[in-house]
Chains A and B, each alone.
Chain A
């Protein structure tokens, strides 16, 4: 079983839509959780860290459910510029390495 699993999509949504991505992780000892964004042929960039209490950054809301080992990302009022691959990331057993999901592809259309 892969350490981090995501629905690969693609998700095709119109501008202004709300879209949610989900992710599950297998290592219950994981301590740090992130969403990274990756544009085509570019490096991953940190979108936001995910905290147990849930956190929001503008149009983006991340939630963590440790009991279910489940992480989510909600994007409200989608923009064309949100089109990218969203990577769910969990730190490893050692706490040093990052384990990435395969990524979920989002395409926002006019």
Chain B
């Protein structure tokens, strides 16, 4: 079975631009979470979606938004990029109970110049 997939793998943007990151969960998983990991830190929770509804949101500004589609894939959007948004963006999927083990995708590495 395929694991969590994310696209693109790498991305370079300039300040002020907008970015869309994509994630496909493990087949059968209905919950998707997004995390941001800056260098030297552990991942930080951004959003969780379950059955297309937002279940939780971390301490991130409104420039960050996300959605989940009927096929349970998800997009993370970031507007008005700042240098500090440079990070590894990780998507994690879990089964019907979002409190169960979360499995991470390989991440999208975003560099903002």
Binding site for B on A (CB under 8 A): 4, 31-32, 34, 42-46, 49, 87, 91-92, 94-103
Contacts and interface: CB of A to CB of B under 8 A. Distances in A.
19 contacts: A4-B42, A31-B99, A43-B105, A43-B107, A44-B90, A45-B104, A49-B101, A87-B42, A91-B99, A92-B45, A92-B56, A94-B55, A96-B48, A96-B98, A97-B48, A98-B33, A98-B45, A100-B44, A102-B42
Interface size class of B (residues with CB under 8 A): 20 to 34
Nearest to A88: B42
A80 B50 CA distance: 39
A42 B44 CA distance: 16
B103 A46 contact: yes
Interface of B: 33, 35, 40-45, 48, 50, 55-56, 58, 90, 92, 98-99, 101-107
A99 B45 CA distance: 7
Contacts of B44: 100
A109 B68 CA distance: 44
Contacts of A44: 43, 90, 104
A46 B101 contact: yes
Chain A CB count within 10 A is highest, among B42, B44, B48, B101, for: B42
A102 B106 CA distance: 19
A96 B107 contact: no
A88 to B, nearest CB: 8
B90 A43 contact: yes
Given A49-B101, A97-B56, 10 more contacts: A4-B42, A43-B105, A44-B104, A46-B101, A94-B56, A96-B98, A97-B33, A98-B102, A102-B42, A103-B42
A10 to B, nearest CB: 12
A99 B58 CA distance: 10
Nearest to B45: A97
